[in-house]
Structure formats: structure tokens, C-alpha cells
Amino acid sequence: MEENKKEEKNQNEEKKETAQKEEQTVVDPKQQELDELNDRYKRVLAEFENFKKRSGKERETLYNSILSDLIGGFLPIMDNLENALKAETKDSEYKKGVELVHKQFKDLLKSKGVEEIPAVGETFDPTLHEAVSSVQDDTKGEKEIVQEYRKGYKIGSKVIRHSMVVVAN
């Protein structure tokens, strides 16, 4: 009899546990729908944030590309202004005018983040410089730039135009 009571008691406990598990697994359909909508909302929000970051980077890349192309078209004009400054003239007012235009042009390039690539005295770097010839000079270091034919320019780390240089040794 005691064994029957124990068995009956165990069976009752098992039924209670099963009933509790069933109650836990039965979820309110409204709560389930709310959870699904909340999850979908979070995913859409994350996708939108990623889209904003991606489109911002694309916009910045496109801006820098267009700026580089535009500035690249103006660099021959800058070269001609520098050649005009080197030319001898007796008209000092004319020379001042060319100097002012040159300075204004340099200031504009600087305001857009354009920098000259240093060359003479620097070590040759194929990512920044274009070697057009080489000379043997024991007084200079290996791969040292001794002359610059054309200035190079860059915006940030992007090279707009490589420097044309003569390299020693």
C-alpha cells in the first residue's frame, strides 16, 4: 500500500511537471507577434544604419575621385605659372601679377587638401615618383632624388600626379 501511494504520488508529480511545461510552452499569440515585429524592427534598423555608413563612404570616395580628376586637369596650368615665374622679365608689375595668380592658385589647391610631393633630396618611392633617368653620383645616397622635372601632387594618400625625377646611383 505504501508503495502504491508512492507510485501514485510520483505519477501526480510527473503530471504536474508536464502541465507546467505545457503552460510554459503555450505562448500568448499576441506576445509572439509582438516579439516577431520587434525582431524585424531591430533588423531593419541595423540594415538602415549599415546603408547610411556605406552610402557615406561611397559619397566621400566619389567626391575625392571627382576632385582628383578636376585638380589633375589644372596642374599643367600650375606648371606653366611656375615656368612663367622662372622667366626673366623687365616688367616688375607683370611679374608681381604672375606671382599673385600663382599664390592664389597654390592657396586654392591647399584649401582642397592638395599637397606637393617632396622630391629632391628624398629617397625614391615608386608610389610617389616616376624615374625618367638615373645618374651615377658618389656624393649622393642610393636611390636619392637629385633633380625634379615635374612636380607631383597628392590628396591625402591618393596620388593625383607622380613627380618626374632623376635618381642617383
* Model confidence pLDDT, tens digit, residues 79-113: 999 999 999 889 989 999 999 999 999 999 999 99
The span from the CA of 150 to the CA of 155, in Å, is 17
The 10s digit of each residue's pLDDT in 45-60 is 999 999 999 999 999 9
The answer to whether residue 23 is domain-embedded is no
Judge whether 152 lies within some domain: yes
**Which residue range forms the structural domain that includes residue 137?**
116-169
pLDDT bracket for residue 141 (50, 70, 90): confident
DSSP string, 48-103: HHHHHHHHHHHHHHHHHHHHHHHHHHHHHHHHHHHHHHHS--S-HHHHHHHHHHHH
156 domain-assigned: yes
**Domain CATH code at residue 123:** 2.30.22.10
Short-list 162, 146, 165, CA closest to 72 = 162
Distances (CA, A) of 156 to 64, 73, 75, 150, 161: 10, 18, 17, 19, 13
133 within domain boundaries:
yes
- Domain membership of residue 5 (yes or no) is no
129 belongs to a structural domain:
yes
Q: Is residue 56 part of a domain?
A: no
Q: Helix or strand or coil: residue 23?
A: helix
Helix-, strand-, coil-residue percentages of the chain, each rounded to 5: 60, 20, 20
Q: Is residue 21's pLDDT more than 90? A: no
User: Does 57 reside within a domain?
Assistant: no
pTM for this entry? 0.66
| Number of domains into which the chain is organized | 1
